[in-house]
Amino acid sequence: MNDMSIAGRGKLPSAEEAALVKKFLNDTTLFLGPDPEIMQNHDLMPRTADEDEAIAKVADSHIIAKIRDRIQAGCDEGYEMVEQMGAAPGAKWGDVITGVYSASGDLAIASAGGVLIFSALVHHPIKFIIKNWINDPTVGVREGDGFIHNDSRYGNVHNTDQSMILPIFHKGRLVCWVASTVHEGENGAIEPGGMPSMAESPSDEGLKMSPFKVVENYQIKRDILTFLQNSVREPKLQYEDMKVKLFACLRIKQRIEETLNTDGPEALVSTLRLTMENVRAEVKRRISEWPDMTVRTYIIQDSTLRENCVVKINCKLTKTGDRLIFDFRGSAPEFTNRATNTIVAGLKGMLAQVFLCYVWPDLPRGQAAFAPIEVITDPHSIVNCSYDAPNSQSLMSIFTGFTAGQHAVAKFLYSCPEKFTKVHAPTFNMINTFVWGGVSQHGETLGNLCADLNGMGAGATVDRDGEHALAPIFATMADIGEQELNEEEVPFLQLVSKKMTRDAIAPGKYRGGQGYTMMVATKDSEQWGFMTVCQGAKIPPLQGLFGGYACGCYPLSKVKGVDVYDVLLNTPEKFKHSIEEIMNEQPFEGASYTTHHMGMGFEISKRGELFMISQGAGAGYGDLLERDPRGVIKDIEEGLISPAVAARTYKVAFDPETLAIDEKATEEARAAERKARIARSRPYSEFVKDWSKPTPPTHLQYFGAWGDDVETLYMGSPEKTRDAEVPRPNYMPHPKDVRIAELEARLAAVGAMGGEKQ
Amino acid sequence: MKRVSVDIGGTFTDCFVVWDKQYIEAKALTTHHNLAMGFNEALGKACNVLGLQLEEILSAVDSVRYATTLGTNALIEHKGPRIGMLVTAGYEATVPLSRARGYGEGLDNLGQQDMPNAQRPNPLVEAHMIRGVRERLDFQGKRVMPLDEEDVRTQIRELVNRGAQIIVVALVNAVVNPAHEQRIEEIILEEYPSHLLGAIPVILSHQVAGRKGEYVRATSAIVDGYLHSTMYHALSALEQNLRAHRYEKPMLVIHNSGGMAQLNSTDALQTIHSGPVSGIGASEHLAMLTGLGNVVATDMGGTSYDIGIVVDGGVKHYDFNPVIDRWLVSVPMVHLVTLGAGGGSIASYDRMYKTVKCGPESAGSDPGPACYDRGGMRPTVTDADLLLGYLDPSNYAGGSIPLNPRRAKSAIEDSLCDELDCSVVEAALLIREKVDDNMANGLFTELRARGYDPKDFTMLAYGGNGPLHCCGIAQNLNIDRILAPPLSSVFSAVGAGNMHQLHIHEQSLYMVLYDSNTRALFDDYDRFNAIVADLKERGTQDLLRQGVPPTDIRHNLELDMRYGNQLVQTTAVIDKHGVDGPADVLAIISQFSADYGKRFGEGSQAPEAGIRINTIRIAAYVQHETVQFEDIKPVPERERKAPPPPAATRVCHFVGQDGPLETPVWSRSDIGPGVQIEGPAIIASEVTTFLVNPGWSFVAAKQGASWFLRAKIPATTY
Reported as a single tens digit per residue, the pLDDT across B266-278 is 899 999 989 889 9
8 Å CB contact between B35 and B238: yes
Minimal CA–CA distance to A511: which of A453, A468, A452?
A468
Hey, of A182, A360, A482, A607, which one would you mutate to test binding to chain B, going by the most B CBs within 10 A of its CB? A482
Q: How far is A379 from chain B (nearest CA, A)?
A: 33
Instruction: Tell me how far apart the alpha carbons of residues A428 and B214 are, in angstroms, rounded to a whole number.
Output: 26
Provide the 10 A C-beta neighbour count for residue A723: 11
Query: B706-710 and B481-484 as β-strands: parallel, antiparallel, unpaired?
Result: antiparallel
Inspect the interface and report whether the beta carbons of A565 and B564 lie closer than 8 Å. Answer: no
- Listed by number, the residues of chain A in 132-161 with a beta carbon closer than 8 Å to a beta carbon of chain B are none
8 Å CB contact between B209 and B328: no
Which of A61, A239, A422 has its CB closest to that of B355? A61
User: Which pLDDT does position A677 carry in this prediction?
Assistant: 96
> Which residues, 6+ apart, have CB-to-CB distance to A546 below 8 Å?
A414, A425, A621, A622
Provide the 10 A C-beta neighbour count for residue A544: 25
Q: Residue-wise over A172-182: b if at least 16 C-beta within 10 A, else e?
A: eebbbbbbbbb
Inspect the interface and report whether the beta carbons of A80 and B601 lie closer than 8 Å. Answer: no
Provide the 10 A C-beta neighbour count for residue A414: 13
8 Å CB contact between B225 and B83: yes
Inspect the interface and report whether the beta carbons of A282 and B118 lie closer than 8 Å. Answer: no
User: Which pLDDT does position B716 carry in this prediction?
Assistant: 33
Residue of A nearest to B110 (CA): A362
Inter-chain CB pairs, A–B, below 8 Å: 250
Touching check for A471 and chain B: CB below 8 Å?
yes
pLDDT exceeds cutoff 80 at B567: no
DSSP state of A454: G
Instruction: Tell me how far apart the alpha carbons of residues B61 and B2 are, in angstroms, rounded to a whole number.
Output: 5
Task: List CB contacts (< 8 A) between A569 and chain B.
Answer: 143-146
Which of A421, A480, A484 has its CB closest to that of B172? A484
Inspect the interface and report whether the beta carbons of B91 and A239 lie closer than 8 Å. Answer: no
Inspect the interface and report whether the beta carbons of A240 and B565 lie closer than 8 Å. Answer: yes
Task: List CB contacts (< 8 A) between B143 and chain A.
Answer: 569
Residue of B nearest to A218 (CA): B603
Residue of B nearest to A410 (CA): B116
pLDDT tens, position by position, B25-83: 888 888 888 889 999 999 999 999 999 999 999 999 999 999 987 888 788 888 899 99
Task: List CB contacts (< 8 A) between B449 and chain A.
Answer: 77, 80-81
Task: List CB contacts (< 8 A) between B110 and chain A.
Answer: 361-362
Blockwise average pLDDT, block size 10, chain A, 758 residues: 47 86 84 93 96 96 90 89 83 83 96 79 94 95 97 92 96 96 90 91 96 97 97 91 94 92 95 96 96 97 97 98 97 98 95 94 90 97 97 97 97 92 97 93 86 94 97 90 92 97 94 96 96 95 96 96 98 97 97 96 96 97 97 95 95 95 97 96 93 94 95 97 96 95 92 70
Provide the 10 A C-beta neighbour count for residue B141: 14
Touching check for A60 and chain B: CB below 8 Å?
no
Provide the 10 A C-beta neighbour count for residue B413: 14
When pLDDT is averaged across residues B431-454 and rounded to a whole number, the result is 88
Inspect the interface and report whether the beta carbons of B132 and A577 lie closer than 8 Å. Answer: yes
Residue of B nearest to A518 (CA): B90
ipTM of the complex: 0.92
> Which residues, 6+ apart, have CB-to-CB distance to A201 below 8 Å?
A337, A388, A390
Inspect the interface and report whether the beta carbons of A569 and B144 lie closer than 8 Å. Answer: yes
Task: List CB contacts (< 8 A) between A498 and chain B.
Answer: 90-94, 97
Inspect the interface and report whether the beta carbons of B116 and A424 lie closer than 8 Å. Answer: yes
Q: How far is B520 from chain A (nearest CA, A)?
A: 13
Which of A247, A443, A454 has its CB closest to that of B601? A247
Touching check for A624 and chain B: CB below 8 Å?
no
Q: Residue-wise over A283-312: b if at least 16 C-beta within 10 A, else e?
A: bbebbeebeeeeeebbbbbbbbbbbbbbbb
Which of A250, A421, A488 has its CB closest to that of B139? A488
* Angstrom distances, CA of residue B475 to CA of A68, A262, B429, B694: 18, 13, 15, 11
What amino acid occupies position A711?
E
Q: How far is B531 from chain A (nearest CA, A)?
A: 18
Separation of CA A562 from chain center: 35
What amino acid occupies position A746?
R
Inspect the interface and report whether the beta carbons of B355 and A65 lie closer than 8 Å. Answer: yes
Identify the bridge partners of residue B698 per DSSP, sorted by sequence position. B677, B708
Minimal CA–CA distance to B306: which of B344, B332, B326, B280?
B280
Minimal CA–CA distance to A166: which of A148, A190, A150?
A148
8 Å CB contact between B14 and B490: yes
Task: List CB contacts (< 8 A) between A65 and chain B.
Answer: 350, 353, 355-356, 434
Minimal CA–CA distance to B707: which of B692, B686, B689, B688?
B692
Instruction: Tell me how far apart the alpha carbons of residues A169 and B142 are, in angstroms, rounded to a whole number.
Output: 56
Instruction: Tell me how far apart the alpha carbons of residues A75 and A532 are, in angstroms, rounded to a whole number.
Output: 34
Write out A475-541 in H/E/C secondary structure. Answer: ECCCCCCCHHHHHHHCCEEEEEEEEECCCCCCCCCECCCCCEEEEEEECCCCCEEEECCCCCCCCCC
Separation of CA A47 from chain center: 31
Q: How far is A623 from chain B (nearest CA, A)?
A: 19
Inspect the interface and report whether the beta carbons of A498 and B94 lie closer than 8 Å. Answer: yes
Q: What angle do CA A43, A44, A45 make, to 5 degrees?
A: 120
Beta-strand runs (E) in B522-679: 554-563, 570-574, 611-622, 648-652, 661-667, 676-678
* Angstrom distances, CA of residue B505 to CA of A590, B101, B259, B340, B595: 48, 28, 13, 33, 22
* Angstrom distances, CA of residue B632 to CA of A464, A722, B292, B626, B674: 58, 85, 10, 16, 10
Inspect the interface and report whether the beta carbons of B213 and A482 lie closer than 8 Å. Answer: yes
Task: List CB contacts (< 8 A) between A495 and chain B.
Answer: 90, 136
8 Å CB contact between A75 and A259: no
Hey, of B94, B115, B358, B431, which one would you mutate to test binding to chain A, going by the most A CBs within 10 A of its CB? B115
Using a pLDDT cut of 70, give the percent of chain B over it.
Answer: 98
> Which residues, 6+ apart, have CB-to-CB distance to A641 below 8 Å?
A502, A503, A505, A632, A635, A649
Instruction: Tell me how far apart the alpha carbons of residues A723 and A728 are, in angstroms, rounded to a whole number.
Output: 9
What totals of helices (H) and strands (E) does chain A contain, helices first? 19, 23
pLDDT exceeds cutoff 50 at B714: no
Task: List CB contacts (< 8 A) between A469 and chain B.
Answer: 93, 97, 100
Inspect the interface and report whether the beta carbons of B567 and A85 lie closer than 8 Å. Answer: yes
> Which residues, 6+ apart, have CB-to-CB distance to A270 below 8 Å?
A51, A54, A55, A57, A58, A59, A64
Q: DSSP readout, A177-193?
A: EEEEEEE----S-SSTT
Q: How far is A532 from chain B (nearest CA, A)?
A: 20
- Measured in degrees and rounded to the nearest 5, phi and psi for residue A684 equal -60, -40
In terms of residues, how long is chain B?
Answer: 718
Hey, of B95, B99, B455, which one would you mutate to test binding to chain A, going by the most A CBs within 10 A of its CB? B99
Q: How far apart are the first and last CA of chain A?
A: 41
- Listed by number, the residues of chain A in 514-573 with a beta carbon closer than 8 Å to a beta carbon of chain B are 516-517, 519, 523, 565, 568-569, 572-573
Inspect the interface and report whether the beta carbons of A480 and B134 lie closer than 8 Å. Answer: no
- Measured in degrees and rounded to the nearest 5, phi and psi for residue B394 equal -95, 0
Instruction: Tell me how far apart the alpha carbons of residues A56 and A63 are, in angstroms, rounded to a whole number.
Output: 14
CA atoms within 13 Å, Cβ hemisphere of B170: 33
Residue A372: asked if its preceding bond is cis (omega within 30°), the reply is: no
Q: DSSP readout, A365-426?
A: SSGGGTTT-EEE--TTBTTB--TTS--TTTHHHHHHHHHHHHHHHHHHHHT-SS-SS--BPP
User: Which pLDDT does position B425 carry in this prediction?
Assistant: 96
Task: List CB contacts (< 8 A) between A458 and chain B.
Answer: 115, 118
Phi-psi region for residue B433, left (φ > 0), alpha (ψ -120 to 50) or beta?
A: alpha
Which of B90, B119, B351 has its CB closest to that of A496? B90
Instruction: Tell me how far apart the alpha carbons of residues B8 and B572 are, in angstroms, rounded to a whole number.
Output: 34
- Listed by number, the residues of chain A in 111-130 with a beta carbon closer than 8 Å to a beta carbon of chain B are 112
